[in-house]
A and B are shown apart, each in its own frame.
Chain A
Amino acid sequence: MLERGLEEKTYVLNLGPQHPSTHGVLRVELEMEGEFITKADPDIGYGHRGHEHMAENRNYQQFLPNLGRVDYLHALAYNQCYCMAVEKLLGLKVPERAEFIRVITGEMNRISSHLLWLGAYLLDLGAFTPILYCFDDREHILDLLDRVTGSRLTYCYYRFGGVPQDIDEEFVAGTREFIKRLRTRFRDYDNLVTKNVIFIHRTRDVGIITQEQCLEYGLTGPMVRGSGIPYDIRRSEPYSAYPLFDFEIPIGSKGDILDRYLVRVKEMEQSLRIIEQALNKLPEGPIMAEKVPKRIKPAEGEVYAAVEAARGEFGCYVVSQGEVKPYRIKLRVPSFANLSILPELSVDTLVADLVAILGSIDVVVPEIDR
């Protein structure tokens, strides 16, 4: 056959933009040699909405609802980061009760984000059942947060100087009940997923990220902790009320997909611990700082605030020129940095493994495009 001049060609395969395992509109251009990938090139920008530019032509408050749309799965952390940045500019001191409410709701939101990842990721790997259990649990969180924030997904709850509405007894009782419930459910997840032989064989020793690679690519969040680096903004640069709570930072050892999975599951348990402590210590008092100006007009200056979102470090850089509109806002999103390692990880893997790796990065594509 070869004698007749059949050329060898690399085969180009498009994964996405409408592939269900890309979790949004992400296209990955794959160059294949037989079954194996020689080059993977993520193509981003399908969902570009220009959030950073929108910030430049509206007031400080008017940019608040945009933050819930950057990463819709852990929207409250993004709300908090922007509020923290502007509070730094204005020199506002947030009352303790408001900080506690922010921690409780933010951690609840983190659990809901991880639960959705867990279900959707296992769906990528071909396990259908877990997503039903995950969404059952997630539904409880959404109902609880709905009682407090008024929305179920794209929250716009925090304000400069605190939170606009207080939490009530029913929310506290409901959250305590939910903590108890989720702790019993972790055993089911263990039996259903973590011990499952098919899952282990799909994920063990696949997509290994070394510690050097983590630092080179600027990875954050569960990606870097899965490789064994205990880097967590909540601990390394404590913000809000986090220094008051006792929690561990789960880390992996090898840096493969299984480690990243375990880190996320353990993180949910730690989040439950934080919520429990915060509910026990919840102080009384005001929920809004005194003397919040009606017209937000910070003095000239620039600040950077960072929070630990479900996917890693989210940073917000605000430049003010002493006007009612910010001069520039830069959003540092974790998924963008985390996705950048995909081309290196995917060399010499099968397409099925690429899907497993892509899912383990936990990308939220609107956040990359923003």
Chain B
Amino acid sequence: MINYFKEILVGFWSLLAGMAVTIRYFTKPIVTVQYPRQKLTMSPRYRGHTEFVIDEETRTHRCIACEMCNRICPSQLISLQGVKVDAKKKLPSRYIIAYQYCSLCGLCVEVCPTKALKWSDEYLLCGFTREDSEIDLLRRLQDQQYAKGWPLTPIPRPKPEEPAPAKGEEVKE
């Protein structure tokens, strides 16, 4: 009989102790971010989609179209085409990532021999169609150069005998 009442009392006290925790936190400042009015900055290693590194000296990208990233990508989502501009040099004429298939593993960034790729801090990446998430890195680079007032890197055309792929008309971002 005593145990019965004791259990009730202890139980009731435990509920009050729980309420006390809630009430204590009620007076503490809000921890959530009030999103549309308040935005967080992305951490330096945040993985958005990949983008070209802009070399400070040459003011352009460092891609040599070696297709290493293309080969290591688990989802085979990079469509990359290179054009020989002279005897030694090769440049990309098309670099499009189908971002909707990307699993953000970072293998392409690590495998790149010239360190031409980096992660962007883009996080608003939703769209209405599948094509919205296809990102043309060469066009994106031109946009970034334009924003800085630097000369734009021309997108080399493949040789005329090849069937010319549509490159400039792609929906960007």
A residues lining the B interface (CB < 8 Å): 58-59, 61-66, 68-69, 129, 133, 136, 139, 143, 146-151, 154, 156, 159, 164-165, 188, 191-193, 195-198
Contact = CB atoms under 8 A, between A and B. Distances in A.
A61 B20 CA distance: 51
11 contacts: A61-B107, A62-B73, A64-B105, A146-B43, A150-B104, A156-B104, A165-B45, A191-B21, A195-B18, A196-B15, A197-B15
A65 B105 contact: yes
Contacts of B104: 65, 150-151, 154, 156
Given A62-B72, A150-B47, A156 B21 contact: no
Contacts of A147: 43-45
Given A61-B72, A63-B74, A66-B103, 16 more contacts: A64-B105, A64-B107, A65-B74, A65-B105, A129-B22, A139-B31, A147-B45, A149-B45, A156-B104, A156-B105, A156-B106, A164-B110, A191-B17, A191-B18, A192-B22, A197-B10
B146 interface: no
B28 to A, nearest CB: 11
B20 A191 contact: yes
B18 A192 contact: yes
Contacts of A159: 110
Contacts of A148: 45
Contact of A197 (B14, B22, B74, B103): B14
A364 B21 CA distance: 30
A195 B14 contact: yes
Interface residues of B, number: 27
Interface in B92-130: 103-107, 110, 119
B15 A146 contact: no
Contact of A150 (B21, B22, B45): B45
B11 interface: yes
A136 B18 CA distance: 17
B15 to A, nearest CB: 7
Given A149-B45, A150-B104, A197-B11, A188 B21 contact: yes
Given A156-B106, A195-B14, A197-B11, A151 B47 contact: yes
B46 interface: yes
Contacts of B14: 191, 195-197
Contact of A195 (B17, B72, B103, B106): B17
Interface string B61-79: 0000000000011100000
7 closest A-B pairs by CB: A197-B11, A65-B105, A62-B74, A65-B103, A150-B45, A156-B105, A150-B47
A59 B68 CA distance: 14
A58 B10 CA distance: 60
Contacts of B105: 64-65, 156
A255 B106 CA distance: 43
